[in-house]
């Protein structure tokens, strides 16, 4: 990361890195997704294969297995998908954000089919992480295909990471996945910025950054792969618990006594 990139991240709370991954690398993860949703490969232990809420409610009848799935979550036990989180090129960047001792704390492959709502309200990821400091946590989100405003690209509110963790609740939206909380009172933030990305482009962002995504209004899928990382030296906050999660995995560097 250059000094200019570091300054941009500190001010805006996110940083887009063009073409961090090549098409051949993306193809491996896309093929694995298809194999899992088509039943050719069993989902790994603890992996959640999450149906889209409109499919679950019977509002739409998917024409293919891939059109029914919204997300593969917690893929750390799938060696093919988890190779994304273990990629040395990715971890070199993560080290610039959180330091040399890195733990993987969350993984997901997001699939937004055509003909579904698929919106995710503006929210802050720190809501889900009961440890601090926040500036030693970072997310990476990589476009597996061309991502546009039309197919529901990621939306960010630049500079919002400099605020506090807001109260979150479910907005009054039709066909909302109830696990998709939004920051209360934020709505359609006037400063929101749509991040259109090419395959392999990746965005790193702070856990307090307000971000979300819109509807897929196109006729094709919108797919991305994502992971969160934290310094192994982060410590649980009092009363924060562990979110019921399994132990986080050290992917680079050393463990810390009393760390996450």
Q: What is the DSSP track for 128-165?
A: G--EE-GGGEEEEEEESS-B-TTTT-EEE-TTGGGSPP
What is the phi-psi region of residue 236: left when phi exceeds 0, alpha when psi lies from -120 to 50, beta otherwise?
Answer: beta
Neighbours of 199 (CB within 10 A): 19
Range of the domain at 224: 3-252
Q: Is 128 exposed, middle or buried (0-12, 13-18, 19+ CB in 10 A)?
A: middle
Asked if residue 119 belongs to a domain, the reply is yes
Asked if residue 125 belongs to a domain, the reply is yes
Asked if residue 257 belongs to a domain, the reply is no
One pLDDT digit (tens) per residue for the chain, 260 residues: 999 999 999 999 999 999 999 999 999 999 999 999 999 999 999 999 999 888 888 888 898 999 999 999 999 999 999 999 999 999 999 999 999 999 999 999 999 998 888 889 999 999 999 999 999 999 999 999 999 999 999 999 999 999 999 999 988 877 777 678 899 999 889 999 999 999 999 999 999 999 999 999 999 999 999 999 999 999 999 876 555 555 799 999 999 998 99
Asked if residue 238 belongs to a domain, the reply is yes
pLDDT of residue 141: 98
Asked if residue 259 belongs to a domain, the reply is no
How many Å apart are CA 15 and CA 7, to the nearest integer? 10
pLDDT of residue 37: 96
pLDDT of residue 55: 86
Asked if residue 231 belongs to a domain, the reply is yes
Asked if residue 219 belongs to a domain, the reply is yes
pLDDT of residue 242: 53
Please name the residue that has the structure tokens 């492959």.
109
Q: What is the CATH number of the domain that holds 161?
A: 2.60.120.620
Q: Report the number of distinct structural domains present in the chain.
A: 1
């Amino acid at each position: 990361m250059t000094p200019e990139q570091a300054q941009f991240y500190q001010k805006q709370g996110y940083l887009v890195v063009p073409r961090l991954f090549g098409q051949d690398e993306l193809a491996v993860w896309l093929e694995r997704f298809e194999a899992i949703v088509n039943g050719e490969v069993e989902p790994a232990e603890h992996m959640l294969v999450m149906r889209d809420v409109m499919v679950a409610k019977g509002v739409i009848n998917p024409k293919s297995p891939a059109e029914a799935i919204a997300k593969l979550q917690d893929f750390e036990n799938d060696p093919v998908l988890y190779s994304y989180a273990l990629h040395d090129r990715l971890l070199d960047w993560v080290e610039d954000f959180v330091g040399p001792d890195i733990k993987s704390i969350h993984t997901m492959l997001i699939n937004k089919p055509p003909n579904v709502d698929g919106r995710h309200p503006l929210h802050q990821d720190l809501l889900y992480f009961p440890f601090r400091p926040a500036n030693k946590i970072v997310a990476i989100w990589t476009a597996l295909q061309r991502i546009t405003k039309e197919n529901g690209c990621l939306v960010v509110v630049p500079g919002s990471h400099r605020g506090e963790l807001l109260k979150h609740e479910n907005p009054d939206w039709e066909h909302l996945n109830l696990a998709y909380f939004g920051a209360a009172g934020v709505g359609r933030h006037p400063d929101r910025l749509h991040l259109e990305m090419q395959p392999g482009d990746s965005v790193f962002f702070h856990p307090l950054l307000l971000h979300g995504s819109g509807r897929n209004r196109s006729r094709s899928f919108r797919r991305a792969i994502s992971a969160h990382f934290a310094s192994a030296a982060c410590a649980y906050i009092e009363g924060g618990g562990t979110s019921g999660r399994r132990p986080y995995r050290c992917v680079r560097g050393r463990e810390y006594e009393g760390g996450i």
